[in-house]
Amino acid sequence: MNSRIAEIPIVNSKDGSQYNIRHSFLQRLYSSPSVFQFIGDCIGFVGSFFLYFILSFSSGLFEISVKNNFWETAIFIPIISVISVYWLLIFWFGGLYKNWLVRSPFDEFFTILRYTFFGCAFLFFLIVIDTHNFPHIRLKIVVYWITLSIIIICMRLVVRLIQRYLRRRGIIALSVVLVGSALRLKDLWQSIVTNPSWGYAIHGAILMDKAEQTIWESQQELQSIPILGLKDHLSEIIRHIQPQTVLISMNSPEHTELLNLAMLCDENNIRVKIVPDLYEVFSGQARTLPIYGAPLIEISPQLMKPWEESIKRLIDIVVSLIIMVVGSPVWLVLSIMIKLDSQGPVFFSQYRVGKNGVHFKMYKFRSMKQEGDKGKAQWTLPGDSRVTKFGRFIRKTHLDEVPQFLNVLLGEMSLVGPRPEQPFFVEKYSAILPYYYRRHKVRPGITGWWQVKYKPFLESVEEMQSRLLDDFYYMENISLKLDIEILVRTVYCVVTGHGQT
């Protein structure tokens, strides 16, 4: 690299001084739109509560059922606190504390209307249970919903304006690294320069090769932006710099390159935004979001909304308890049959790799001869001679997986997710397929999209790639609806004896 390429951890600021662009936790917190939204909502919840009671006492719309000194009573502050916590939980579960600043305000406002409506409807049913004055309560709830929605939307609009002002003045700056081809990045740079309210502080560019570096250096407008390095050193640069966002725009991007970069940024909690090729957009191969009004593909570390994650975990716990307790007589019979069929313990345990690469001990009913599961790590082959007679039955019906409900209760697994793999194979295929490790962003599952599409298999790179396609499909479309579909399909597989023996 020549002198035009900056040292990895240090870049030049506009005034010529040098500084490290790593951001502390407090700096990231201060620049986070979620913090502004949270503060604005807290003010809105309290303000709407005051406005609602002013309307209740002063408008004559409702009968006054409390004393005039209600405002001075000790119960007033606890009521406001409880109501505020109630709405904060609903908004958090509804995903209203993600970065809404980059999205259309109409999307944000309609989402607020939807969740305030559901929240008020729930309050209405709670109150109706305790009263018979149905029309009177209904009118109060409607007035409260309108008041709450207007105040919260107004506060969110104020918060947007404040953030845009702070970003435009440079008080809030989001560190950005550009990655891609010179001329395409030039177009992206021009969009950023003409929109200072985005708050992007460009700290440098990572180019694809020497030819792109030559093109970059020939562009007079780009002279103020240092070249941090070339693609060959991309991972080192990203790890050292730790920008808040990586913007990608390149000619004919290779899928492997994009996947590797997305994984790298995901591991370091860095947001990735990709400018899609027009052909990909028009041919339907890429779905874009209007981020700041520009068509960008955003790769976010968050796969599910918080409320979906909570419900998914609750379902895991409830279903596991029911199956383990209600089915205990059946599991006892299976244990006896395993002991009668062959020598050895009832249960088989083996270390697997779980969410975020954490190793855990996974349990199964033993389906192999006592010495059949020892030695080097290997997959079970179709018609494997190590499998016992009774083991063939429990493997074919997937009943050997039942002890894994204990792993689900412990939080090491989920009912639905990619199958956990042995550490040996994780290391082996991570070296061959760099994007393999991405499957560990979610809890592994007892069943999954690949299992319900079962076919006989042998260990190979092709088979692992096929599994990854199914795992990534699940992760990209993860939802409670898809989980339910997979569970229903799994029941069918169990009933029809679809497992490998």
pLDDT of res. 119: 92
Give the residue-averaged pLDDT of 147-151.
Answer: 94
Q: Is the pLDDT of residue 374 over 80?
A: no
Name the 3-class secondary structure at 181: coil
Tokens standing for residue 139: 């009118």
pLDDT digits (tens, 9 = 90+) for 193-216: 887 878 888 888 888 888 888 888
| Torsion sign, CA atoms 198, 203, 204, 205 | negative
Tokens standing for residue 242: 């730790």
Highest mean pLDDT among 98-102, 212-216, 258-262, 286-290: 212-216
Rg of the chain over all Cα atoms, to the nearest angstrom: 28
Q: Is the pLDDT of residue 116 over 90?
A: yes
**Alpha-carbon distance values, 1 to 32, 230, 271, 309, 465 (Å):** 35, 9, 27, 46, 36
Residue predicted with more confidence, 438 or 284: 438
Cβ neighbours of residue 409 closer than 8 Å, sequence gap 6 or more: 316, 317, 320, 321, 324
pLDDT digits (tens, 9 = 90+) for 250-284: 876 666 677 777 777 777 778 887 776 543 433 33
pLDDT of res. 377: 62
Q: How confident is the model at residue 107 (pLDDT cuts 50, 70, 90)?
A: confident
* Residues pairing with 206 in the sheet: 179, 229
Q: How confident is the model at residue 38 (pLDDT cuts 50, 70, 90)?
A: very high
Cβ neighbours of residue 266 closer than 8 Å, sequence gap 6 or more: 272, 299, 301, 438, 441
pLDDT of res. 413: 95
pLDDT of res. 412: 94
Return mean pLDDT, the chain: 78
Q: Is the pLDDT of residue 9 over 60?
A: no
CB 273 within 8 A of CB 245: yes
Topology of the domain covering 10-23+173-299: Rossmann fold (3.40.50)
pLDDT of res. 73: 54
* Cα gap 228→365, rounded to integer Å: 54
Highest mean pLDDT among 131-140, 159-168, 383-392, 467-476: 159-168
In this structure, what DSSP letter does residue 53 have? H
pLDDT digits (tens, 9 = 90+) for 152-181: 999 999 999 998 888 888 788 888 889 888
Residue predicted with more confidence, 166 or 61: 166
pLDDT of res. 20: 42
Q: How confident is the model at residue 74 (pLDDT cuts 50, 70, 90)?
A: low
* Cα gap 474→439, rounded to integer Å: 10
Lowest mean pLDDT among 19-23, 45-49, 197-201, 439-443: 19-23
* Cα gap 145→151, rounded to integer Å: 10
pLDDT of res. 31: 67
Tokens standing for residue 101: 């600043």
Sequence spans of domains, the chain: 10-23+173-299, 32-168, 306-495
Neighbours of 209 (CB within 10 A): 11
pTM: 0.55
Residue predicted with more confidence, 297 or 384: 384
CB 395 within 8 A of CB 347: no
Residue predicted with more confidence, 462 or 192: 192
Q: What percent of the chain has pLDDT over 90?
A: 20
Give the residue-averaged pLDDT of 373-389.
Answer: 66
pLDDT of res. 195: 77
Name the 3-class secondary structure at 70: helix
Lowest mean pLDDT among 226-240, 292-306, 313-327, 434-448: 292-306
* Cα gap 449→474, rounded to integer Å: 6
Q: What percent of the chain has pLDDT over 70?
A: 75
Q: Is the pLDDT of residue 314 over 80?
A: yes
Q: Is the pLDDT of residue 420 over 60?
A: yes
Per-residue b or e along 245-271, where b marks 16 or more CB atoms closer than 10 Å to that residue's CB: bbbbbbeebeeebbbbbbbbbbbeebb
pLDDT of res. 85: 92
CB 182 within 8 A of CB 207: yes
